[in-house]
Amino acid sequence: MSCDSGAFFCKSACGECKCREGGKEVVCNESKLCSLNGGNWKVFPDGCADKCGNMRQCTEAFVESCDCGEDKCWNGNSCIED
């Protein structure tokens, strides 16, 4: 199994996400989790990005985040219904 096949899991207590790759666990970053969830990691023109509800912090700065597509939002680990 590889990370690209979606064999990933999160250890929410420490906020560390890992996936199984080549029989061992490797740390997945947010952009990797985004693509595993069918999203597209990109730069947004403001802090609102495609983040879910209380995660939205609408600043005037460019921010990298996951674009989950229509009617979905990024909760930091996965794309969920918005």
pLDDT at 31: 85
Q: Is 70 exposed, middle or buried (0-12, 13-18, 19+ CB in 10 A)?
A: exposed
pLDDT digits (tens, 9 = 90+) for 23-79: 666 566 788 888 888 899 999 998 888 888 866 778 888 889 999 999 999 988 889
Domain count, the chain: 1
Query: Model-level pTM?
Result: 0.65
pLDDT at 43: 94
DSSP letter, residue 34: H
**Domain limits for position 58:** 3-81
How far apart, in whole angstroms, are the C-alpha atoms of residue 71 and residue 13? 28
